[in-house]
Amino acid sequence: MSLGILYGVGVGPGAPDLVTLRAANVLRSAPVLALPRSSDHGRSVAWQIAKPTVGEIPGQERLFLTFPMTKEPARLRPYWDLAFGQIGERLERGLSVAFVTEGDPFVYSTFIYLLREVPRRWPGLRVEVVPGVSSITAVPAAAGIPLADGLERVAILPATYGVEDLTEVLRAFDTTVLMKIGSSMPAVVEALESLGLADRAVYVSRATMPEQRIVRDVRAVRAEHGDCLDMLVVFRKDRSGVLAGEPAGTGESRGGRL
Ligand X SMILES: C[S@@+](CC[C@H](N)C(=O)[O-])C[C@H]1O[C@@H](n2cnc3c(N)ncnc32)[C@H](O)[C@@H]1O
Q: Does 144 bind ligand X (CB under 6 A)?
A: no
94 half-sphere exposure, CB direction, 13 A CA radius: 2
Is residue 100 at the binding interface for ligand X, with CB under 6 A as the rule? no
Closer CB to ligand X, 103 or 144, in the complex: 103
Neighbours of 225 (CB within 10 A): 12
Which residue from 9, 83, 125, 139 is in contact with ligand X, where contact means CB under 6 A? Answer: 139
* Choices 22-30, 167-175, 204-212, 237-245 (CB under 6 A): range interacting with ligand X: 204-212
C-beta atoms surrounding 50 within 10 Å:
27
> How large is the angle between the packed helices 110-121 and 73-92, nearest 10 degrees?
60
Q: Does 179 bind ligand X (CB under 6 A)?
A: yes
Which residue among 231, 233, 234, 248 contacts ligand X (CB under 6 A)?
Answer: 231
Rg (CA), the chain: 20
**At 213, is the secondary structure helix, strand, or coil?**
strand
104 binding ligand X? (CB under 6 A)? yes
Q: Does 157 sit near ligand X (CB under 6 A)?
A: no
Report in angstroms the alpha-carbon separations of 174 from 7, 59, 86, 165. Answer: 35, 50, 44, 15
With beta carbons less than 8 A apart as the criterion, state whether 236 and 152 touch: no
Q: Contact between 140 and ligand X (CB under 6 A)?
A: no
Q: Which stretch binds ligand X (CB under 6 A): 17-25, 81-89, 100-108, 243-251?
A: 100-108
Q: Which window, 33-41, 50-58, 92-100, 223-231, contacts ligand X (CB under 6 A)? A: 223-231
The site for ligand X (CB under 6 A) is made up of 13-14, 101-104, 107-109, 134-135, 139, 179-180, 204-209, 228-231
